[in-house]
Structure 1
């Protein structure tokens, strides 16, 4: 284990840890393992299903997701053709003894609602008929942008039982939208989209907002929060702005790492957190806030720490107990286009193997379990860790946990390991400090493209 320096706290904004290991730690798998072999002994009674659409109408300046601007004539259709070929191959590899059971689903990107209504119908068909997912019986989340949240598209989502619609607003301030390189976004367009979403009747509306934008003040931040709260969204995500390599903002401001920016983001985070708590929201994680009286969105018996995930699409990842895998990853426009072009040209048989990935051995499984549990506001019952791994977490991560405690980042309690409010504020420092040396080295060696 790495011994941490408890005297000096690390920078609060290092990395948004939404999955571990990160895709930049993946490598080419040679020989390519067959999906049938990977899933042969895996539990399949509580799987997550994720479908990835890699198209957006614009690319925001902060975005480092796997996506491209627009789709030349016919490309969206060819992409769905490939997605269907992949779904057939994956479903065949999963087999029927027992048949897979999907307990949660999501369409992301990119922007799934970039697709035309007929294409969205086809996307649902791939999930329902090809994969066998009962989307009306499980929580289903779909991401959208204000420009693509049109009435005809939303009608398709609602008709297929979408329980959660997540709208990427980021800011209600036009000047801040320009500073974040979101060209053309006007508040009137955002408000119109929100009205359509509410009219469509989705049980859960989520609004994404970003803090730390150049020129943003606490007053303007509170104004965006107030504008969002006027719609009484069931969920709000508050994201700190990052400036990452190969993004639009990185080209404009390749530094973006001053200590003053850290202080600004922490100040705005605390202001937003306090405002939402006062407004009747509960904090689920550093980023996520949920209205206390919100709709649960359907049964949720999928555990991200232990259950598997099937990802379809060239930006999706899949998880088995021993291997996380995906396709190649890129941010630069040229590289993204090349990967998409390769994906749409693949024959069905080529989707029966995993291309890129990283083995998740026993030690990495422990790190992943602790990391994904600890970054949730409810924390991790120590008994869960003991039941799965046969020892207490401090036996595996004593130096790391001691460092967190010394910084005031942990709440006291022998049977519940939980971040304190200040620990939650520093989640983007907590997560990276739990990365293994091997994963750190692989991420450092990744050649951004």
Structure 2
């Protein structure tokens, strides 16, 4: 670590709110805007490396809308909407594959189906989704990691049979809480018996990696009830566990009933995070990020979350993002039900998917911010030599104020030495403050100007 970042007494720094924003991608989608030039995909991808692409297919349907959810999804799919959506997904896949060209080999290194709830689709529709990924895009499902998100109600035997037969290597089940009163408080009504039955079906199906999502900070949750959910999850020996702090975001049901700036809630969530982290570490799990824990010896399913900073991402579906080195693009984003329905309706009516219509250019120092941010939020940290090889400079030289502040707060691991920039345990606990601190002024301004809809 550079002497310029020698830590000062952490107490000298004013405290910050630990839960500001979950940074799973940068720039955030609320910084995207309509692209006036509507660039052709063929031009965007012409000079991009295509040897290790990631494929993401987005299914924007759920059987219920959870109180905390700000994902792009709608409840139900009346009539033949899922058929028409898959028709549009097929048209988009054809256009994207043509845009990737044939001058050099196009290879996919990983695939994922997310949402929404991909398993909202019936078994035959999941077959078609896999066909689109394989036959249209050329992603060799069965030869690469394939992760699929599911809910307890939709993780049925026939759907799981299809996914396993088509090469699914990871199923992520959104449980959130094994305590029924907590599930209701999070506006996610479910019976524990149904959750346990779904987990049994996933294990019986033989999927190599089971991930269970849990949430802490729910109204009425206590250390004892949180421990009960953790132990209920651990009884299934999942290969992965994600522990998410509860957020109450705009346009979600919980936003109107939760004091989002409550210091007591922040303290509760931090305490529950530390309890969960320590319990999982003592139970034989390794921490890979603030949220993700992997059972020791469990198979690694493809690149970790930050790998798309160096590899391109192809997103199919109206809620999916695509990443090139110079542009991140998608379709419009909304949370409110009327706006989501309108965007889905426009998507299924689209005939020409050959151009990017909504996104954000990655210019100036944004590639450096993105690389640093997404690497630093991983528990392993970032080899400083990798940064230097990519950008010809050092993170300390490029971001002295931000890294100096992290050091002053005790958020950087001094023991990592100069060869690695890594968060300390306390820094990792404050990942949702570390990430936003690295946002550029331009991205902050765009996010602040975004009108939630």
Same fold (TM over 0.5): yes
Q: Secondary structure at the match of 1:352?
A: coil
**Residue 43 of structure 1 corresponds to which residue in structure 2?**
49
Equivalent in 218, 228, 243 of residue 213 of structure 1: 218
- Which stretch shifts more, 293-302 or 365-374? 293-302
**Residue 234 of structure 2 corresponds to which residue in structure 1?**
229
Please, which runs of 5 or more residues in structure 1 have no aligned partner? none
Q: Does 1:85 align with 2:87?
A: no
Please, which runs of 5 or more residues in structure 2 have no aligned partner? 1-9
1:29-108 maps to which residues of 2 (within 5 A)? 29-108=35-114
Q: CA deviation at 1:252?
A: 3.1
Residue 323 of structure 1 contacts residue 358 of structure 1 at CA under 8 Å; is this kept in 2? yes
Q: CA deviation at 1:305?
A: 2.1
In structure 2, distance between residues paired with 1:111 and 1:396: 40
Q: CA deviation at 1:295?
A: 1.9
**Residue 312 of structure 1 corresponds to which residue in structure 2?**
316
Residue 226 of structure 2 contacts residue 272 of structure 2 at CA under 8 Å; is this kept in 1? yes
Equivalent in 363, 367, 371 of residue 373 of structure 2: 371
Q: CA deviation at 1:318?
A: 0.2
Equivalent in 404, 407, 420 of residue 406 of structure 2: 404
Q: Return closer, same or farther for 1:135/1:174 CA change in 2, 3 Å cut-off.
A: same
Kindly provide the CA deviation profile for residues 392-422 of structure 1, in whole angstroms up to 9, marking residues without a partner as x: 1100001110110110000111110000000
Q: CA deviation at 1:100?
A: 1.3
1:247-266 maps to which residues of 2 (within 5 A)? 247-253=252-258, 255-266=259-270
1:348-363 maps to which residues of 2 (within 5 A)? 350-363=352-365
Q: Does 1:242 align with 2:244?
A: no
TM-score of the aligned structures, taking structure 2 as reference length: 0.96
Residue 104 of structure 1 contacts residue 302 of structure 1 at CA under 8 Å; is this kept in 2? no
**Residue 144 of structure 1 corresponds to which residue in structure 2?**
150
Residue 33 of structure 2 contacts residue 360 of structure 2 at CA under 8 Å; is this kept in 1? yes
Kindly provide the CA deviation profile for residues 266-303 of structure 1, in whole angstroms up to 9, marking residues without a partner as x: 00000000000000000000000000111233688993
Q: CA deviation at 1:256?
A: 3.0
Cα root mean square deviation, aligned: 1.3
Q: Give structure 1 regions of 4+ aligned residues with deviation exceeding 4 angstroms.
A: 298-302
Q: Secondary structure at the match of 2:387?
A: helix
Q: Does 1:281 align with 2:271?
A: no
TM-score of the aligned structures, taking structure 1 as reference length: 0.97
Residue 211 of structure 1 contacts residue 239 of structure 1 at CA under 8 Å; is this kept in 2? yes
In structure 2, distance between residues paired with 1:292 and 1:123: 32
In structure 2, distance between residues paired with 1:304 and 1:387: 18
**Residue 5 of structure 2 corresponds to which residue in structure 1?**
none
Residue 208 of structure 1 contacts residue 238 of structure 1 at CA under 8 Å; is this kept in 2? yes
Q: Return closer, same or farther for 1:126/1:302 CA change in 2, 3 Å cut-off.
A: farther
Q: Return closer, same or farther for 1:51/1:303 CA change in 2, 3 Å cut-off.
A: same
Q: CA deviation at 1:7?
A: 1.7
**Residue 159 of structure 1 corresponds to which residue in structure 2?**
165
In structure 2, distance between residues paired with 1:138 and 1:428: 31
Q: Return closer, same or farther for 1:342/1:299 CA change in 2, 3 Å cut-off.
A: closer
In structure 1, distance between residues paired with 2:60 and 2:298: 30
Aligned residues, how many? 441
**Residue 344 of structure 2 corresponds to which residue in structure 1?**
340
Q: Secondary structure at the match of 1:138?
A: coil
Residue 138 of structure 1 contacts residue 300 of structure 1 at CA under 8 Å; is this kept in 2? no
Q: Return closer, same or farther for 1:288/1:172 CA change in 2, 3 Å cut-off.
A: same
Q: Secondary structure at the match of 1:432?
A: helix
Q: Secondary structure at the match of 1:282?
A: strand
**Residue 111 of structure 1 corresponds to which residue in structure 2?**
117
In structure 2, distance between residues paired with 1:219 and 1:82: 47
Equivalent in 415, 420, 427 of residue 416 of structure 1: 420
Residue 109 of structure 2 contacts residue 302 of structure 2 at CA under 8 Å; is this kept in 1? no
